[in-house]
Amino acid sequence: FEVGDVGRLTIGGDVQGGSVQNSGRMLVGEVDFLGIGGSIIGGGAATATIEAGRIGQLVVAGSLTGGGLEPLRIEALANRFEPAPEVPFGSITIGGNVTFTRIHAGFATSFGQPSPDVQIGNVTVQGNWIASDLVAGALPGPSGDFGDGDDVLAGPVNDPNFIARIAAISIK
């Protein structure tokens, strides 16, 4: 589904992708609070995704689980025209595991020019972190994977004095 800017968006149960392209997809402008009462689960070749301009607080009671050929994607761009630092994710809290998932700040497939001038607030995961990426201000290089030495900045730098960062990560 697609919505514009909202203050609070809550889904009581799971969000699950299927075998059809864009199944389990949420496209939102800016949201202050996004709460999922269950888990977000990818489907076959077309995984579930959340794409946003900004997510102030993301709370998932269950797990994030990619499926099929693509990881589960949660992407937030922030406003590229605001002064740095931009904060696409204010905080992220996951009640379960994070498996085959890409959480990406400074890039959103549907939201135009990526940005390297971004921050992610506190990230808390109550379960395990398995085969997943948490990325601020970078894009994968030619390999398509993060962390292999060919990653690049996510677009031109707005503020050369700013360094993309993640405030804190807690995996319990």
Segment 149-163 shows an average pLDDT of 80
pLDDT-based confidence at 171, cuts 50/70/90? very high
Q: How far apart are the first and last CA of the chain?
A: 32
pLDDT-based confidence at 159, cuts 50/70/90? confident
| Model confidence pLDDT, tens digit, residues 65-113 | 998 778 898 999 876 556 656 889 999 999 999 999 999 998 876 666 7
Q: What is the pLDDT of residue 81?
A: 56
Q: What is the pLDDT of residue 10?
A: 96
pLDDT at 156 over 60: yes
**How many other CB atoms sit within 10 Å of the CB of residue 139?**
17
Query: Residue 144, by phi and psi: left (phi above 0), alpha (psi -120 to 50) or beta?
Result: left
DSSP notation for 7-41? EEEEESS-EE--SSTTTTEEEEEEEEEEEESS-EE
Do 86 and 113 form a contact (C-beta atoms < 8 A)?
Answer: no
- Look up the pTM and report it: 0.90
pLDDT at 60 over 80: yes
Q: What is the pLDDT of residue 103?
A: 95
Q: What is the pLDDT of residue 129?
A: 98
